[in-house]
Amino acid sequence: MKTTSPFLLLLIPLALLTQSCTKTLSSTPQTEYVMGTFCTVNLFENESPKLHTEIFDRLRELEDILSANKENTNVSEINTAAGIFPVHAEKETLEILKIALEFSTSTNGAFDPSIGPLVKTWGIGTNEAAVPSLEKITKALSLVDYTKIEISDNTIFLPQKGMQLDLGAIAKGYAADEIVKILTKHNIKRAIIDLGGNVFAHGKKTRTKPWTIGIRDPEVASGNPVLSVSIENKSVVTSGIYQRNFMENGKTYHHILDPKTGFPAENDLLAVTIISSSSILADALSTSAFLLGLEKGLHLIEATKNTEALFITKNKDVFVTRGLQGQLNIINTQYTIKN
Ligand code: FAD
Ligand code: MG
């Protein structure tokens, strides 16, 4: 099983920096490397080492259940038992998988939590990333099919040997929602959580003012904000091509894979940002909308209640959902809002 090398860890601050950044009050941000990315928690009131510990312990606990990169996690056990026997599923795995499967249906299979064999074949985000042979892609694709996943009596069974779950497109959103539950339990009213691109702006900046969240340049891993939006109690999640990719023969290959072709999804988009009060939905939707492309992606978000999105194209055009029109501030004038 591939794991992140120490060399790669050094690259991750550049490679995985969140696309959203925040202009906020002062606090002492706590950052730890969990779930293959840097997770930062900014508590703007009642900061305490005990609370930071509780938050990061929960994140590590989730990683130990949900990671497809570590051995002995619930997801890894399910993957290892593929084609052999059903495995008891933790409530977190079940909850996330059930939501993931709803997105598989609503995207007509573009979003597929059984994408694991293809993700491993490409190795994007590891130091073994390379364009696989067509033979390897075809073999991996024959193992990707969400309709075959069997869920019953709190067990999950992947009926074909070699099938593998990968919840990388949705689990960080679940984790952000779990942190918000902890903050609410402790009556913390102002905080910014950033799990490698999954931002949750909890509460308001002040009693009367919302948070201002910057949307980073989607072409540069650690770029400056190009747009900003004011929000409160909402998650802002971005999926894009810049975060995890590699170049071979002058072409860039990114990590959002099309289960129909076996290759990175090809369309005009650089990034999709979703704004929603649920981070798990925002995470699933950002990947789903990216996979569907501008037109179908916009349609999907418009059909989703209380959810807004902005799509940034390779021409630096920005398309927004109806509820976001007039709400974005342009910081970098190379970007143009088109609707
Ligand atoms: P998103 O758009 O939200 O998701 C893209 C990811 O979804 C891809 O990287 C792939 O994993 C998956 N995916 C690709 N195509 C599809 C598709 N068609 N349908 C559904 N899913 C798809 N990374 C490491 O390098 N080392 C680790 O040890 C590690 N551990 C992790 C543990 C956990 C619990 C999780 C959730 C992730 C872990 N990661 C690890 C992955 C890393 O954090 C990813 O960068 C992240 O999950 C991708 O999220 P994103 O927001 O960048 O992109
Ligand atoms: Mg996602």
Ligand 2 center to residue 207 CA distance, Å?
Answer: 31
Ligand 1 center to residue 90 CA distance, Å?
Answer: 19
Residue nearest to atom 14 of ligand 1 (CA): 256
For residue 281, the ligand closest to its alpha carbon is 2
pLDDT value of residue 23: 43
Ligand 1 center to residue 292 CA distance, Å?
Answer: 18
For residue 166, the ligand closest to its alpha carbon is 1
Q: Give pLDDT tens digits along the chain (339 positions).
A: 333 322 222 222 222 233 444 444 667 899 999 999 999 999 998 888 999 999 999 999 999 999 999 999 999 999 999 999 999 999 999 999 999 999 999 999 999 999 999 999 999 989 899 999 999 999 999 999 999 999 998 999 999 999 999 999 999 999 999 999 999 999 999 999 999 989 999 999 999 999 999 998 888 877 789 999 999 999 999 999 987 899 999 999 999 999 999 999 999 999 999 999 999 999 999 999 999 999 999 999 999 999 999 999 999 999 999 999 999 999 999 999 997
Separation of alpha carbons 336 and 311, rounded Å: 11
Atom of ligand 1 nearest to the CA of 113: 20
Ligand 1: which residues within 6 Å by Cβ? 4, 35-37, 63, 66-67, 69, 110-113, 115, 119, 125, 166-169, 171-172, 196-197, 239, 243-244, 255-257, 259, 283, 286-287, 291
